[in-house]
Amino acid sequence: MAVGTPQTEVLRMEHITKQFGSVYANRDINFDVRAGEVHTLLGENGAGKSTLMNVLFGLYQPTEGDIYVRGQKVKIESPSQAVKLGIGMVHQHFMLVEAMTVFENIILGDTRSKGIFIDQNARKKEITELSEKYGLDADLDQPITELAVGAQQRVEILKALYRGCDVLVLDEPTAALTDQEAEGLFEIMNKLKGEGKSVIFISHKMREVLRVSDRITILRAGQTVETVNIGEVSGEELANRMIGRELKPSQYIKADSSGETVAVLDHVSYHKNSKHNGLNDISLRVHRGEIVGIAGVDGNGQSQLAMLLTGNIAPEEGSMDLKESKVVRFDPNGFIQENVSHIPEDRNKAGLVGNMSVADNLVLKTTRDKRFSDGNGLHLKKKAIRNYALEMQEKYDIRCSSVDQESRNLSGGNQQKVILARELEASPDLLVAVHPTRGLDIGATRFIHDTVIMQRDLGCGVLLISADFDEILEVSDRILVMFEGRIMGEYSGKNPPIDEISHAMAGK
Amino acid sequence: MGSFIANLLLATVRMASPLIFLSLAELYSQRAGLVNIGIEGLAAIGSLTGFLVSLISGSPLLGVLAGALAGILVNMIFAYATITLCAEQIVYGMAINIFAPALAAFTYRVYFGSGSELVQVELMGTLKSMLGIKSDNFFVNLFLDQTPMVYLAFVLVILTAVYFTRTKAGLNYKAVGEYPKAAATIGINVIGIKYLSCVICGALAGIGGAYLTTCYSKTYVDGNVAGRGFIALAAVIFGRWSSGGVLVACLFFGFCDALQIRLQLVNNTLPYQFFQMIPYVATIVVLAIIGAKKAGPRASGQPYRKEER
Amino acid sequence: MKRKGIGALVIVPLLSIIISFLIGCIVIAALGANPVDAMRYLLKGSFGNVRNLGTTFSRATPLIFTTLCACFAYRCGVFNLGGEGQFIIGAIIACYIATKAPFTGFPAILLCAVAGAAGGGLWAAIAGVLKVWRGQNEMIITIMLNYVATLLMGVVYTNWLRDGSVPQTVAVPDETQLPSFFGLRATVAFPVAVIAGIAIFYFLFYTSSGFQLRAVGLNMTAAKVNGFNVKRYLLMSFIVSGAIAGLGGALELLGTQLRLINGFAAGYGFDGVAMALIASLHPIAGIVVAIFFAALRVGSTTMQTATGVPTSVSDIIQALVIVFTVAGMAMVKLPEFKNRFARRARKEA
């Protein structure tokens, strides 16, 4: 395959429209890729980037529009067809079989080699050559479970290259990488460019986009805003075009951190040696009436921190104080009795009982309450529960056709509002909120932020864990950074030093 | 004492064989992500069909083939319900456990009436008898005095091991049970492999059931599978989803079964039923010792849906 | 939305029953008998007169108990397939107390019932403890315990409590037998079963503990995070479901069978699971389904006597009902299916 000149067009998507019912996820998008370039698709959550790539990769069929590969019009109806056309994709959630080794994952589903048996030697030789060519080192016999995130990503890239891709789509590739791992990725991308391959880089992170892109296509609300060459625009202009409005500084008044503490962690450790699932000598405090934001890339111990502060796990070393008295027993019910509320990471797995109604979920923890039952739970007052649910529906603007509807049928934003209603109505002293606005649109996000700030003003201490750096900056009164299970630094939320914090997030 | 042990070992191999078929059936099913607890029912219908066809045609071998076919047909109901309709696998496995034995019992009644006299059928001959060898040597008996089915069982164990560890198709197959979504994006036919697994599972379970009436016992009675289908489930867990491990597990349970029969013969004190309990209690003890299911195919038991938002 | 849900819950089993009966009729015709006649005798034999009605209720009683056992357990996500074993253990204990106790009459009945329930509960608890402390799946263990219980019963009626040379136990003394229910062939065990069903329904849907138990069954992770004592509810569901089955066994011995014998409780456990599934785990619906299938069994003996159609046809019909019901309920939940209905609803709107 001849290495194309930088002007050779490899892929073109013309007037792509994708509708889901009456919703337009993509509307009249035009996008093209040339050989040897890194072309970034820039846009916020929900702008339509993933949908467009799923169309390219054959997972969705476009409602309208055409795709041209090397000038030929094609219909891509399945991922294997996309692969045959030379399009490879590294998804945000890796498509790797954990129980298998690197080698097995790479040759999985391969149809080119002949014979029934796997020719280990021949295949391994081929793969090793590829990995050396592109600087993707990988131990072929290691099971995936033992690999760090950055290494797993390299396997995914090797997989795509092994299948002969010319265009590699990277979907939010640095979301779970450390700065060092991200650097490694950018080097690999350079090598790919050098060999004439193209990279479609999907991201919403301005800094890295400015660093690696040759061209940038901005998507907003499902439509192409424009395509620019690097160097033609500045980061701020890009950001504005991406959001469609001026980036304003936080609208919330920040509070001072003083007074009574609601939660204190004193040299707490849990699974100390685990870099991605442990806590290593953590000390922190949360005061009444303040929001402490934990910044950091997902997978640095945040989940464990949240589980600890809600009583789901117990520390292996160190101790915790809740409302100024030492915690003796770590169990969720005990913490709930002490007015600790929890907005969990995964709303479907841990937040709601999907098959139960909205009303049932709203009173999930309070069925023994006098308001909702007689005799401490011996007879549930169905009518009282229903009325309460209707009240909450109005107060928290929960959009659902009926409070008796199964909660799993609600949209993500409304599900989160149900959880919010349940957790906040208990007038908590401590609120632990983990990724509370993940996957939600701007309106729902704003609503949740407003409500949390309101609780703070009523005297609740809030620990906010989020991978969305902008959210942390927007809402926190104090910012702590977590990296590999440790607290790397503490910063004021009033005029946060963004560069310092970013460095801390990467472990420096 | 020597002959007691020798007989015990010979019996162990014979009793383990149906378990091997049933366990391999479940292995193939679970490796494709489908937990099939209806093996007991499939074996029942396989056992009845094997008996009937063997009786009518005079060929136990034909009986076994018919048993396999019966197993496949009934398991196709399970396949359709769990793969295409996404019914809960465990629940539907129970449905098969109720349906298949009822079908078997019904067929027997219709064919033979409700008489209490048990019809007998000729069993498959062993290799030793086919070759006309007359020897009492333990090793000759161990290796040659077995029906072809026994050899088949052991060959299948080896074939299965090779399939899953050395072939491309086997690797793709395993991916379906581990991470079907990823397998689909690589172009593996997930639905196809799931249906294939049900065919293999049905066939092997049917063969395991047919073994009971073509190589083990001359008569058919309702409930002759006697829980082997469930012991097979335990064997798969015990054998950690590898065909070698499953073989060891089946030999162990076969040993328990052989032991209880032999102990009954030499025993004078305890009621015989206590010995009959041995295989079942052994299963419980084994499961209690090895603890939680740690290493099964990751996506086993979960319905697979091709999603378009 | 709630109305549509109930529609599916009732329509699917109803349709399954109709289709299964149709297939049953085809089979009957293939056997050379007249399906209409067969159905007529089926109905007559089960509900045709007071005597038959009583027999139906009597036959339904143990089935109601095992159905409730399965319902209760599965509501908590526990696959208690050991209803049969727990039923038998309850009966064994009741047999001992009834035949060996120095007193008879109502106190003996009461003791038998309580002890039988306790026995069933403990038998189930074996699997419960293994699940909660060793994480071991309860399906296989409860089924193994079924076989152990059946064999144990064998020891009892061939050996320990044997009645002379016949392989059955001594009969329950007359005073300890259950009185009949309004002169029907059914005993007071029947209303006890119905009351048990109502009590379980109330517990599950009108008490806080029942609510939490259901939550554990629907989403264990969320239940744990929200402070529910998951281990306690899991154990509770094993013990209570086992106790229900044990109670059923004790009452079946005292009321209907009067002796332990080969075939006592054969198949009741799995039948209970089937019926619980057909009834979508609703206790009251479970009672209805159990009565329905008991009617099928009782009626089929009359059908066999009158038309020569073997009783096992009713087993086939019952088996077909579960095959179709579970498949139907899964189909109704499929997104494609829901979309077709939604589109039609929108058109009509």
Residues A429-439 have pLDDT tens digits of: 999 999 998 87
C221/A352 CB distance under 8 A: no
Residue A221 · residue A24 · CB < 8 Å: no
In a domain, A200, yes or no: yes
Q: What are the chain B neighbours of A91 within 8 Å (beta carbons)? A: 185
Share of chain C above pLDDT 90, in %: 55
Task: Please indicate whether, in this complex, the C-beta atoms of B86 and C310 are within 8 angstroms of each other.
Answer: no
Q: pLDDT band at residue B187, thresholds of 50, 70 and 90?
A: confident
Residues A160 and A271 in one domain: no
The count of other CB atoms within 10 Å of the CB of residue C172 is 25
Residue C235 lies in a domain: yes
**pLDDT-derived band at A199, boundaries 50, 70, 90:** very high
- How far apart CA B15 and CA B208 sit, in angstroms, is 11
Q: For chain B, which residues make up each domain, given as ranges?
A: 2-113+141-290
The residue-averaged pLDDT of A317-324 equals: 92
- A271 to chain B, minimum CA–CA distance in Å? 20
**Domain closes at, from A224, A243, A262:** A243
Q: Is the CB of A329 inside 8 Å of chain C's CB atoms?
A: no
Q: Do B88 and C330 touch (CB under 8 A)?
A: yes
Lowest mean pLDDT among A274-283, A325-334, A451-460, B195-204: A274-283
State the average pLDDT for chain A.
86
Q: Which of A:197-256 have CB within 8 Å of C?
A: none
pLDDT at C3 over 60: no
C88 within domain boundaries: yes
Of C215, C227, C229, nearest to A353 by CB-CB distance is C215
Contacts of C209 in chain A (CB under 8 A): 377
3-state SS string for A185-205: HHHHHHHHHHCCCEEEEEECC
Can you give the pLDDT at residue A240?
A: 64
> How many beta-carbon pairs below 8 A join chains A and C?
73
User: How far B102 CA sits from the closest chain C CA (Å)?
Assistant: 6
pLDDT reported for residue A231 = 79
Flag whether residue C206 sits within 8 Å of chain A, measured between CB atoms. yes
Asked if A95 has any chain B CB less than 8 Å from its own CB, the reply is: yes
- Using the predicted structure, report yes or no on whether residue A247 has a pLDDT greater than 60: no
A303 in reach of chain C (CB within 8 A): no
* % of chain A beyond a pLDDT of 70: 94
Residue A249, pLDDT above cutoff 70: no
Q: Which of A61, A90, A95 to mutate to test the interface with B (most CBs of B within 10 A)?
A: A95
Per-residue pLDDT, averaged over A156-165, amounts to 90
The answer on pLDDT for C348 being more than 70 is: no
Distance between CA A479 and CA A501 in Å, rounded?
9
B85 closest CB neighbour out of C81, C319, C327: C327
Question: What pLDDT, on the 0 to 100 scale, is given for residue C41?
Answer: 87
- Determine the pLDDT at residue B292: 63
Q: Scanning every residue of chain B, which has its alpha carbon at the shortest distance from the alpha carbon of A93?
A: B182
Split at pLDDT 50, 70, 90, the class of A4 is very low
- Does A5 have pLDDT greater than 60? no
Question: Three-class SS of residue B249?
Answer: helix
Q: What distance in Å separates residue C277's CA from the closest CA in chain A?
A: 17
Range scoring the smallest mean pLDDT among A415-419, B129-133, C50-54, C168-172 = B129-133
Question: Does the residue C29 lie in any domain?
Answer: no
- CA-based Rg of chain C, rounded to a whole angstrom? 21
For C323, which of B99, B233, B293 is closest by C-beta distance? B99
pLDDT tier at A387 (50, 70, 90 boundaries)?
very high
pLDDT at A23: 73
Contact B137, B4 (CB under 8 A): no
Beta-carbon-side half-sphere exposure of residue C92 (alpha carbons within 13 Å): 24
Same domain, A157 and A200: yes
Mutation target for A interface from C4, C203, C213, C219: give the one with most A CBs within 10 A. Answer: C219
pLDDT at C46: 85
A335 interface with C at CB cutoff 8 Å: yes
Domain limits for position A319: 251-339+427-508
pLDDT average, residue stretch B116-131:
77
pLDDT on residue C341: 64
- Orientation of helix B39-57 relative to helix B89-112, angle to 10°: 30
Taking the CA atoms of residue C42, residue C44, residue C48 and residue C52 in that order, the dihedral angle to the nearest 10 degrees is -60
Q: pLDDT tens for residues C74-112?
A: 999 999 999 999 999 999 999 999 888 888 888 889 999
Tell whether A428 is within 8 A of chain C (Cβ).
no
Q: Based on the domain organization, do A188 and A297 belong to the same domain?
A: no
8 Å CB contact of B166 and A117 = yes
Highest mean pLDDT among A175-189, A197-211, A308-322, C153-167: A308-322
Query: Of B309, C339, C335, C341, nearest to A23 (Cα)?
Result: B309
Lowest mean pLDDT among A449-458, A493-502, C160-169: A493-502
**Yes or no, beta carbons of A111 and B187 under 8 Å apart:** yes
From A243, A264, A292, the end of a domain falls on: A243
In chain C, pLDDT over 70 holds for what percent of residues? 94
Residues listed for chain C: 349
- What whole-number distance in Å separates Cα of residue C137 and Cα of residue B286? 12
C3 interfacial to chain A (CB closer than 8 Å)? no
| Range of the structural domain that residue C237 is part of | 55-309
pLDDT value, residue C104: 84
For residues A407 and C219, is the Cβ–Cβ distance under 8 A?
no
Query: HSE on the CB side for C245, CA within 13 Å?
Result: 40
Model pLDDT for residues A67-117, shown as the tens digit of each residue:
999 889 999 988 888 988 999 999 888 889 988 999 999 999 887 777 888
Are C227 and A333 an interchain contact pair (Cβ–Cβ within 8 Å)? yes
The pLDDT confidence band at residue B309, using thresholds 50, 70 and 90, is very low
Using CB atoms, pick whichever of A353, A380, A402 lies closest to residue C218. Answer: A353
Nearest by CB: B227 against C79, C144, C330:
C144
Average pLDDT along chain C: 88
Question: At A478, is the pLDDT very low, low, confident or very high (cuts 50, 70, 90)?
Answer: very high
Q: Which residues of chain C neighbour A378 with C-beta distances below 8 Å?
A: 207-208
Is the per-residue pLDDT at A342 higher than 80? yes
Distance between B189 CA and the closest CA of chain C, angstroms: 21
How many structural domains does chain A have?
Answer: 3
Are residues C315 and B81, on separate chains, in Cβ contact within 8 Å? Answer: no
User: Which chain B residues are closer than 8 Å to C141 by Cβ?
Assistant: 283-284, 287
pLDDT one-digit tens code per residue, B53-84 = 999 998 899 999 999 999 999 999 999 999 99
Q: Which amino acid is at B28?
A: Y
Whether the predicted pLDDT of C328 surpasses 80: yes
Whole-number Cα distances in Å, A140 to A97, A144, A388, B170? 14, 10, 58, 19
Which residues of chain B make contact with A83, given a CB cutoff of 8 A? 186-187
User: From A368, which residue of chain C is nearest by alpha-carbon distance?
Assistant: C208
Per the domain annotation, does A175 fall within a domain? yes
Higher pLDDT, A506 or B54: B54
Q: Which residue of C lies nearest to A333 if distances are taken between CA atoms?
A: C227
Q: Residue A176: pLDDT above 80?
A: no
Task: Please tell me which of A39-53, C242-256, C321-335 the model is most confident about, judged by mean pLDDT.
Answer: C242-256
Report the interhelical angle of C50-75 vs C208-218 (nearest 10°). 70
Q: Name the average pLDDT for chain B.
A: 89
What is the mean predicted confidence (pLDDT) over C257-267?
87
Of residues B129 and A473, more confidently modeled: A473
Is residue A329 domain-shared with residue A378, that is, in the same domain?
Answer: no
Tell me whether A407 touches chain C (CB under 8 Å). Answer: no
Q: Are residues A212 and A64 in the same domain?
A: yes
Domain count, chain C: 1
User: Token pair of A361, please?
Assistant: 């979920």
Average pLDDT for residues A456-485, to the nearest whole number?
A: 88
Chain A within 8 Å of C346 (Cβ-Cβ)?
A: no
Residues B61, B67, B72, CA angle at the centre, nearest 5°? 135
User: The domain that contains A55 carries what CATH number?
Assistant: 3.40.50.300
Whether residues A365 and A474 share a domain: the answer is: no
Q: In what order do the strands lie in the sheet with A317-322?
A: A279-287, A261-270, A317-322, A325-326
- Tokens for A202, please give them: 């999907």
Whether pLDDT at A245 is above 60: no
Q: pLDDT grade, residue C147 (50/70/90)?
A: very high
Region of residue B189 (phi > 0: left; psi between -120 and 50: alpha; otherwise: beta): beta
CB contact under 8 A, C219 and A312: no
User: Is residue B270 over pLDDT 90?
Assistant: no
Say if CB A116 and CB A132 are below 8 A apart: no
Neighbours of chain A (3+ CB pairs under 8 A): B, C
Q: Provide the pLDDT confidence category of residue C45 given band limits of 50, 70 and 90.
A: confident
User: Six-digit token pair at B28?
Assistant: 């193939």
Q: Give the tens place of pLDDT for each residue, C46-68.
A: 888 888 888 899 999 999 999 99
Reported as a pLDDT band with limits 50, 70 and 90, residue C198 is very high
State the burial class of residue A231 (Cβ atoms within 10 Å of its Cβ: 0-12, 13-18, 19+). Answer: exposed
Handedness of CA C20, C25, C31, C37 (dihedral sign): positive
Instruction: Tell me whether residues B291 and C134 touch, CB distance under 8 A.
Output: yes
Residue B306 predicted with pLDDT over 80? no
> Is the distance from CB of A318 to CB of A281 less than 8 angstroms?
yes
Identify whether A2 is part of a domain: no
pLDDT surpassing 90 at residue C126? yes
The span from the CA of A16 to the CA of A18, in Å, is: 7
CA distance C29 to chain A (A): 44
* Residues whose CB is less than 8 angstroms from the CB of residue A72 and which lie 6 or more positions away in sequence, other chains included: none
- Tell whether B290 is within 8 A of chain A (Cβ): no
Please count the helices (runs of H) and the strands (runs of E) in chain A: 16, 22
Q: Which residues of B touch A60 (CB under 8 A)?
A: 308-309
What CATH number is attached to the domain comprising C285?
A: 1.10.3470
Contact present, C128 and C134 (Cβ < 8 Å): no
**Is residue A423 scored above 90 in pLDDT?**
yes
Most confident segment among A80-94, A470-484, C197-211, C294-308: C197-211
pLDDT tens-digit profile of B17-40? 999 999 999 999 999 999 999 999
Give me the residue from B95, B233, B305 closest to C323, CB to CB.
B95
Residue C269 counted as domain residue: yes
pLDDT at B89: 92
pTM of the model: 0.86
CB contact under 8 A, C227 and A360: no
Q: What is the pLDDT of residues C239-250, one digit of tens each?
A: 999 999 999 999
| pLDDT reported for residue B134 | 77
Q: What is the pLDDT of residue C180?
A: 79
* Closest by Cβ to B167, choosing from A96, A111, A116: A116
Q: For B2-113+141-290, CATH number?
A: 1.10.3470
ipTM value > 0.85: yes
pLDDT at A241: 67
Which of A217, A243, A269 is the last residue before a domain boundary? A243
In the structure, what pLDDT confidence band is assigned to residue C2 with cuts at 50, 70 and 90?
very low
Q: Tell me if A98 and B171 make a contact (CB, 8 A cut-off).
A: no
Asked if residue C325 is part of any domain, the answer here is no
